[in-house]
């Protein structure tokens, strides 16, 4: 098994539809021990049964918008998992009203919220995780095509994801001397809690299944398997990269529509 004997933290599981959950399942199936983290007490009820499926301890609550809370969370993590072989960051948020209409109308506080939680939280988590990381550990985050293209209604989240992808490159350089790898998966549209907030999400799914080279929608399982690969030693020479897991949609010309 590719992750036999490895231990990892997975931030951002909200329910059974979360991409973080699919990565957690794939990692566990490949032999890893997994510790989940949730954004608040309100998520514990839904996520605890998922943790039980993985034979995982009680999820750690971590509010990534608060540095002190992150420090406290990692103190708890260290008690349960003093050495960490991989970290998955699958955290993003924005005000619902910012994910419709024009990017031009983004509010100052909406911009700050999206970038603080969706982008800066990766840096904050990596900083606290550094002391626990084993040599040759792997860090993985999740992005989307809106980071490099203007996707209608994705708006401020696209800007946040662009910053996230830039952070991957800078963190890869910072961690490189210690052998720690940092990568991102840019997943196609998958029905998750966060995706449902984007206006026109169903249209994006409909377009992909006819316009992508594989002529189907990407699944959570697709993302989980790709994530497991990047977390494993099989990706030992890969860092600072964004891997597209979208059935090839990102390679197609912009004029393709679901009527094609």
Q: Which of 17, 103, 120, 144 is catalytic?
A: 144
Q: Do 243 and 198 touch, CB atoms closer than 8 A?
A: no
Look at strands 33-38 and 133-143 and give their pairing: unpaired
Closest among 241, 245, 235 to 3, alpha carbons compared: 235
End-to-end CA distance of the chain: 42
What is the helix (H) or strand (E) element at residue 120, kind and residue range? none
DSSP letter for each residue of 20-87 = HHHHHHHHHHTT-EEEEEESSHHHHHHHHHHHHHTT--PPEE--TT-HHHHHHHHHHHHHH-SSEEEE
Is 144 assigned a catalytic role? Answer: yes
Q: Which of 17, 120, 154, 244 is catalytic?
A: 154
Instruction: Enumerate the H helices of the chain as residue ranges.
Output: 19-29, 41-53, 67-80, 108-115, 121-129, 155-175, 201-211, 220-231
Cα–Cα distance measured from residue 104 to residue 216, given in angstroms and rounded to the nearest whole number: 33
Q: How many CB atoms lie within 10 A of CB 65?
A: 16
Cα-Cα-Cα-Cα dihedral sign, residues 84, 168, 241, 113: positive
Residue with tokens 């966060």, as numbered in its chain? 194
Is 154 assigned a catalytic role? Answer: yes
What amino acid positions are annotated as catalytic residues?
144, 154
């Amino acid at each position: 098994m590719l992750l036999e004997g490895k231990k990892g933290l997975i931030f951002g599981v909200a329910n059974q539809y979360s991409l973080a959950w699919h990565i957690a399942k794939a990692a566990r199936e490949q032999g890893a021990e997994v510790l989940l983290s949730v954004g608040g007490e309100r998520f514990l009820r839904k996520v605890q049964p998922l943790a039980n499926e993985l034979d995982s301890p009680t999820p750690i609550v971590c509010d990534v918008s608060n540095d002190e809370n992150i420090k406290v969370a990692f103190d708890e993590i260290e008690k349960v998992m003093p050495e960490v072989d991989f970290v998955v960051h699958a955290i993003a948020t924005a005000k619902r009203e910012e994910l419709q209409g024009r990017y031009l109308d983004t509010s100052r506080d909406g911009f700050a919220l999206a970038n603080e939680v969706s982008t800066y939280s990766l840096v904050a988590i990596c900083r606290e995780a550094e002391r626990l990381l084993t040599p040759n550990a792997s860090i993985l985050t999740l992005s989307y095509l809106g980071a490099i293209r203007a996707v209608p209604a994705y708006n401020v989240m696209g800007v946040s994801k662009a910053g996230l992808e830039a952070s991957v490159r800078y963190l890869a350089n910072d961690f490189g001397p210690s052998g720690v790898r940092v990568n991102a998966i840019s997943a196609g549209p998958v029905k998750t809690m966060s995706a449902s907030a984007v206006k026109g999400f169903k249209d994006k799914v409909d377009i992909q299944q006819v316009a992508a080279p594989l002529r189907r929608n990407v699944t959570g399982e697709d993302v989980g398997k790709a994530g497991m690969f990047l977390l494993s030693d099989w990706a030992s020479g890969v860092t600072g990269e964004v891997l597209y897991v979208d059935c090839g949609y990102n390679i197609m010309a912009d004029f393709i529509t679901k009527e094609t």
